[in-house]
Amino acid sequence: MSVLRLTAEEQALLDGAAGRGVQRAMEIVATLGRIYGAADLVPVSHAQISGVSYKNLGDAGVAFLREWADQGAHVCVPTTLNPMGMERGRWQAWGIRPEFAGPQLLLVEALVKMGVEPTLSCTPYLFPGYVPRRADALAWSESSAVAFANSVLGARSNREGGPSALAAAIVGRTARYGYHLDENRRADLIIEIKCPVRSVADFGALSYLAGKAAGNEVPWFEGLAEWLPSLPADLTLGGAAGDRLKTLGAGLAAYGAVALYHIAGYTPEARDLGPALLRPDARRLVIEDLDAAYRVMDADPDLRKIDLVPVGCPHASLSEIEQVAGYLKGKTLATRLWVTTGEITRRRAAQSGFVETIEAAGGEVVADTCAVVAPMQMLNVRSMATNAGKMACYAPMHSGVRMRFGDLERCLDAAISGEWDPGEPRSRLKPD
């Protein structure tokens, strides 16, 4: 352990000057700082807390948070919340039992009492007023959001745990180590792309290959920018580039432990610093095609009947919801479709008529939750089809479902017919 320098104010918080709740938060932040060899603490502009589903936290987690709230702890920077295990307005209609819903609501209530905003979404960067700026220090804990903030926005966050992000929000600081330091933002692994990467599903497949190879290193992609249109001026809209990068970061964090990646000529630090960002001993990996990833991620070829098609992992942007609405206009679904998103985005989608179109087809635009953190067995969902790399990785493990993986159109076709089409995916047959 190194010597962590605290200011007089920080030391006073650690000594309990602001009460036991704040003292507890400073103990967590300072202990992590000492473990990771931080020299000091850095003020954060925003915190984001994950791990808030009762499915994951259980009764011990609810008791821990309620006790902390009762000790008078309160966040001092804007703090948002990841999805919970159900939608606020529809859990009863879905058949979620009170023994799950009751403690889930108590858990969120404890966080709200501490001043956390119940955004209940893994994509805070899609909400007007929350998009971090370049070099902002953050304490975010949702791994997909950390990857987006670090890589696409050039902000700085470690992969905080839920309690450490909350502790940072309460004291307004986090330990300065890891991705807060320039040296740790350099790339260890050059990944040269020599194949088409055309869709969100393709970016998910790429995240499997790259995530497995990178582990917790920082990848540097070459030849990927040509598959990315420009980001929209208003990042909260998503857009084709935002949606692809959202899924890339989520998959890199799920299949590996990547919290930061660079894309040559595209992401902000790669544009500004160029090859100076590469470590001299960086390894090189060449990806010639994505077939191996599709074979692993779509590994249940006998599965035909689909109970649920979840779209929006990470939570859907306005542009993704528009795309789904456009495809489903005038059609009728044979099976369940969830387009999962944040309530803030759902309201914007409703204003544009997209929610009405999806619901007219028989789908649901679902806020506050997702098909990984909701109790899917309680909802009788045993099989899914997804175009999201992270969902393909997590839902079989966390929700006990069988899974098909492919392009969005193929997933929506499965929602329309109720079955996965065993033929070759159309988009992968298209010429370049």
Task: Give the contact letters, 221-260, x = binds to ligand F3S (CB under 6 A), - = no.
Answer: -----------------------------x----------
Number of residues that bind ligand F3S (CB under 6 A): 15
Residues 304-323 that bind ligand F3S (CB under 6 A): 313-315
Quickly count helices (H) and strands (E) in the chain.
Answer: 17, 14
Is residue 120 near ligand F3S by the rule CB under 6 A? Answer: no
Is residue 14 near ligand F3S by the rule CB under 6 A? Answer: no
Among 390, 392, 404, 413, indicate the residue that binds ligand F3S (CB under 6 A): 390
Given CA atoms 374, 377, 378, 383 in this order, what sign does their dihedral have?
positive
Nearer to ligand F3S, 176 or 390 (CB): 390
Among 127, 177, 394, 405, indicate the residue that binds ligand F3S (CB under 6 A): 394
Nearest distance from C-beta of residue 53 to ligand F3S, angstroms:
9
Nearest distance from C-beta of residue 394 to ligand F3S, angstroms:
5
Q: Among 52, 22, 80, which Cα is nearest to 343's? A: 80
Q: In what order do the strands lie in the sheet with 278-287?
A: 262-263, 219-222, 187-193, 278-287
- Tokens matching residue 295: 């074979």
Nearer to ligand F3S, 62 or 122 (CB): 122
- Angle (CA) 317 336 401, round 5°: 90
Q: Among 165, 307, 290, 155, which Cα is nearest to 224's? A: 290
Dihedral pair phi/psi, residue 337, rounded to 5°: -130, 125
Residues 127-146 that bind ligand F3S (CB under 6 A): 144
Alpha-carbon span 339 to 402, nearest angstrom: 19
Task: Quote the distance between the C-alpha of residue 164 and its chain's center.
Answer: 17
Is residue 54 near ligand F3S by the rule CB under 6 A? Answer: no
Q: Among 346, 351, 390, 387, which Cα is nearest to 372's? A: 390
Nearer to ligand F3S, 51 or 196 (CB): 51
Nearest distance from C-beta of residue 5 to ligand F3S, angstroms:
36
Nearer to ligand F3S, 82 or 383 (CB): 82
Nearest distance from C-beta of residue 389 to ligand F3S, angstroms:
10
Is residue 411 near ligand F3S by the rule CB under 6 A? Answer: no
Q: Are 87 and 368 contacting, i.e. CB atoms less than 8 angstroms apart? A: yes
Among 18, 62, 122, 240, indicate the residue that binds ligand F3S (CB under 6 A): 122
Nearer to ligand F3S, 218 or 370 (CB): 370
Stretch that binds ligand F3S, among 62-70, 231-239, 290-298, 367-375 (CB under 6 A): 367-375
Stretch that binds ligand F3S, among 61-69, 101-109, 284-292, 366-374 (CB under 6 A): 366-374
Is residue 204 near ligand F3S by the rule CB under 6 A? Answer: no
Q: In what order do the strands lie in the sheet with 336-341?
A: 364-367, 336-341, 308-311, 383-386, 402-405
Q: Among 322, 184, 296, 328, which Cα is nearest to 242's? A: 322
Nearest distance from C-beta of residue 118 to ligand F3S, angstroms:
15
Nearer to ligand F3S, 212 or 398 (CB): 398
Using alpha carbons, list the distances in angstroms from residue 159 to 54, 65, 99, 304, 404: 21, 20, 31, 37, 29
The residues that touch ligand F3S, with contacts defined as CB under 6 A, are 82-83, 122, 144, 250, 313-315, 340, 370, 372-373, 390-391, 394
